[in-house]
Amino acid sequence: MTKRDLVVRISQETGLVQQQVLEIVQKTLDYISEAVARGQTVELRNFGVFEVKVRKPRVGRNPNAPAKDVRIPPRAVVKFKPGKEMRDEVIKLTPKEPLPA
């Protein structure tokens, strides 16, 4: 689903003009991005939580020169933890494996 798909669907369900819906959706995403960029946690009930985590420094390997170690510095990343309702719906997509005989 794209932002455009979301706008069209909301517009059809609410009767609002697509341009208005686009502005609202875009503002919502902008505010979420701004808050996360400031290091704040954004919690949307029944949807999920966006938060900033700092990855530890580590040593990596260059596949083209495996003998050489590459130091990877710590860095901040955005993590998303889905809410219970979303987790429950997504888990239903798990393929059913046949039991071994």
Low pLDDT (below 70) residues in the chain: 99-101
Q: Give dist(CA 86, CA 48) in Å, integer.
A: 8
CA–CA separation, 70 and 90 (whole Å): 37
What's the confidence (pLDDT) of residue 11?
97
Q: What pLDDT does residue 62 have?
A: 83
- Neighbour tally for 21: CB within 10 Å: 19
Going from the N-terminus, what domains does the chain have, and what CATH number goes with each? 3-91 (4.10.520.10)
Give the pLDDT confidence of 51-68 residue by residue, as tens digits. Answer: 999 999 999 988 888 788
Q: What is the pLDDT of residue 5?
A: 97
Quote the pLDDT of residue 64: 86
